[in-house]
Amino acid sequence: MRILGIETSCDETAAAVVEDGKRLLSNVVLSSIDLHKAYGGVVPEIAARSHIEAIMPVIEQALEQAKCTWDDIDGIAVTYGAGLGGSLLIGVLTARTLAIIKQKPLYAINHVEGHIYANFLTETTLPHYELPAAQPQFPMLGLIVSGGHSQLVLWKNHFNYKLLGQTHDDAIGEAFDKVAKITGLPYPGGPSIEQAARKGDPFVYSFPKAQMEGRYDFSFSGVKTAVLRAAQAAVGEDFTFPSSKLPDRLSERQKADLCASFQRVAMETVVDKTVLAYEEFQPKSVVIGGGVASSTALREELSRRLPYPITYTDRKLCTDNGAMVATLGCYKAIHKQPAADPYTLEITPNLSM
Ligand code: KG4
Ligand code: ZN
């Protein structure tokens, strides 16, 4: 069973071929991130235009890297939500057209579920990938931490899961991106904060952890505002001081300490709830997915706190990619889940779990 996965929900144009839900044959990701950097975040119109230019070359390269022709492909999986409308449209319309022309079944993939399925890849023909030795077992607890999502989900089996909790406001990655803006670090914020935090003291600032009504719910807007207030206070100003002027006034030391303290509290927040859910539900495996899952700080904290030998997938499979989409597509095909109609499949930008 070989599935071609297509992913265009945000600023990455990505395609990959996965075999039998576990073997990665190709993984091609083209990011338009450099075009967005000047704006400090993803500009939807620029992302959509980049997808149009990149999508066919990226798909052709994914087939070539997998040493596959269209005859070797058993189906096409595509992200249909959640994501930016214009971006999703390019991927979905391309996949629909290819499914009709090449006469392949089409599988509609939820981006957030896809992030978790990257953990099912255990073999590859590609160099420079570090994959876990074994697949996750059910019941499986999944923590999804990305630029658009922060969720804890319990899977009883494939296609049978329960959403335990999610963020009520900002996603964790979004909070990293906003704190990067406050401290004058480049977009995307996660990697630049992680780097700056290495030189800082994580205990200089004690930012609050939001107390939520739902046991497994998150909130990150409070801690983000707390970083802003701390930065204003650090330069001797009050809350009226514009955040755009802060990077010039903050010293390197202050920036590093703000980043380290914020990163510590943000990671502790998601790890606290993951450990709590682990204790309550006693899953056979715990997996993490989404861009923030590539963070060494998060991995170290989770490994230290979980009474379970958690394994992590390659960092290249945490940020948006086609492999996660193809992997989930394989399970849909293997478990005979209904295929989508290539003549009518619509995008769902605010798709939930
Ligand atoms: O999954 P992803 O590529 O896109 C979405 O589906 O949102 O995640 C991107 C997010 C960005 O917010 C980025 O700042 C964050 O992942 N990120 C990190 C790290 N690497 C990426 N956050 C914290 N630490 C990192 N090392
Ligand atoms: Zn994502």
CATH architecture under which domain 2-132+315-334 falls: 2-Layer Sandwich (3.30)
Q: Cα–Cα distance between 89 and 222 in angstroms, integer?
A: 33
User: Which residue CA neighbors atom 5 of ligand 1 most closely?
Assistant: 147
Minimum-distance ligand 1 atom for the alpha carbon of 296? 26
CA of residue 282 to ligand 1 center, whole Å: 28
pLDDT attached to residue 313: 98
CA of residue 295 to ligand 2 center, whole Å: 14
Residues of the chain whose pLDDT is less than 70?
none
Task: Tell me the per-residue pLDDT of 42-86, one tens digit each, with 9 for 90 and over.
Answer: 889 999 999 999 999 999 999 999 999 999 999 999 999 999 999
The two three-digit tokens of residue 94, written as one number = 């391309």
Percentage of the chain surpassing pLDDT 70? 100
Domain 2-132+315-334 matches domain 140-305 at the CATH topology level: yes
Which bin fits 106, alpha (ψ -120 to 50), beta or left (φ > 0)?
Answer: beta
Probe target for ligand 1 pocket from 319, 324, 351, with the most ligand atoms within 8 Å of CB:
319
pTM, two decimal places: 0.96
pLDDT attached to residue 34: 85
Residue with token string 């990701």: 29
Query: Which CATH class name applies to 140-305?
Result: alpha beta
CA of residue 267 to ligand 2 center, whole Å: 18
Minimum-distance ligand 1 atom for the alpha carbon of 172? 12
Ligand 1 contacts (CB < 6 A) are 10, 146-148, 173-174, 176-177, 188-191, 194, 290-292, 294-295, 319-320
pLDDT attached to residue 100: 98
Residue with token string 């494939």: 158
The two three-digit tokens of residue 195, written as one number = 């780097």
Which bin fits 38, alpha (ψ -120 to 50), beta or left (φ > 0)?
Answer: alpha
User: Which residue CA neighbors atom 7 of ligand 1 most closely?
Assistant: 147
Domain boundaries, the chain: 2-132+315-334, 140-305
pLDDT attached to residue 42: 87
pLDDT attached to residue 69: 98
Task: Tell me the per-residue pLDDT of 301-352, one tens digit each, with 9 for 90 and over.
Answer: 999 999 999 999 999 999 999 999 999 999 999 999 999 999 999 999 999 9
User: Which residue CA neighbors atom 22 of ligand 1 most closely?
Assistant: 190
108-147 CB burial, b ≥16 within 10 A, e <16: bbbbbbbbbbbbbbbebebeebebbeeebeebbbbbbbbb
CA of residue 146 to ligand 2 center, whole Å: 6
Q: How many CA atoms lie within 13 A of 21 on its CB side?
A: 16
pLDDT attached to residue 127: 97
Minimum-distance ligand 1 atom for the alpha carbon of 148? 7
